[in-house]
Amino acid sequence: MKKNWLISPPDRGGKVPKRGRGRQTMENLAHNTAVFAGSKCRLLHGQSTKPLCDMRYGTYPLSWNGCELIACYNCAVLLGRKITFPQVVFEFEINKMHYIFPNGYWGTAPKKLWYFFKKHDMPYRSFRNGEQFAKYAKTEKASCGIISFWNNERSTAKFHGLDFFSGGLHTVAYIYRAGRFYIYNLYGKDTSVRSFANISDVYSDNRFIIGYIFDGNIND
């Protein structure tokens, strides 16, 4: 866990946090707060739809790189955590959660998401094997979780010790109810959840990267 994970935006006097990422981070916070103002307290779908596509992470719109942020926010809401979506974006920027490049071109590192979960008291289990993840997810009577998977197939190349992906990756949140998995933001234009009998229908084993399953009561 990052001991110095920063969660506070600037104070009312405009003072920038000591670990600030500079003007871009603060401009993004102000911009995202204004854009998202009319969309509070709801679960998020379709990152290519408004207002999400008009928000920014790094120097790119969330329609390009926002899937991990949306998934983490949705699970935080489901678990009853009091946090706004612009605050989630701010925390990921200020704590350097970007995948490889700080401008956000490749989104967020899926295997770093647990930093956010730890700081916001979201007890979780993580899985690196898609078959084991699917088996455990279906035993939970009431659960939510997050899955990251390659859009095409698993990459074996490495870049600075990290998986380098060809075709990109995607991260989604889900809830499990009455034998069905309900997926949020599976596709960029989605305006509602998509339902599956098996969570593995969302990915194939050779595309699975990591999955998180959360403990605790779900608010849906």
Total domains, the chain: 1
Neighbours of 215 (CB within 10 A): 12
Asked whether 189 and 46 are in contact (CB, 8 A), the reply is yes
Q: Tokens 């719109």 map to which residue? A: 61
Range(s) of the domain holding residue 165: 23-214
Q: How confident is the model at residue 15 (pLDDT cuts 50, 70, 90)?
A: low
Residues 6+ apart with CB under 8 A from 46: 52, 185, 187, 188, 189, 190, 191
Residue 16 lies inside a defined structural domain of this protein: no
* pLDDT higher than threshold 90 for residue 6: no
If you search the block for the tokens 């899985």, which residue do you land on?
127
> What confidence category does residue 71 fall into, taking pLDDT thresholds of 50, 70 and 90?
very high
Which residue's entry shows tokens 């949306």? 70
Domain annotation covers residue 199: yes
| CATH number assigned to the domain comprising residue 142 | 3.90.70.10
4 within a domain of the structure (yes/no):
no
Closest listed residue to residue 120, CA positions, set 99, 91, 143, 90: 91
Residues in the chain: 220
CA distance between the termini of the chain: 28
Quick check: is 35 in a domain? yes
Predicted confidence at residue 161, as pLDDT, reads 44
Note the pTM of the prediction, 2 decimals.
Answer: 0.86
Q: pLDDT band for 97, please (50, 70, 90 cuts).
A: confident
In a domain, 8, yes or no: no
Of residues 53 and 164, the one with the higher pLDDT is: 53
Structure confidence at residue 10 (pLDDT): 52
Structural domain includes residue 102 = yes
44 in any annotated domain: yes
| Sequence-ordered list of residues with C-beta below 8 angstroms from that of 100, at least 6 positions apart, any chain | 106, 109, 159, 160, 162
Residue 61 lies in a domain: yes
Half-sphere exposure for 38 (CA within 13 Å, toward CB): 3
User: Residues 157-182: what's their mean pLDDT?
Assistant: 74
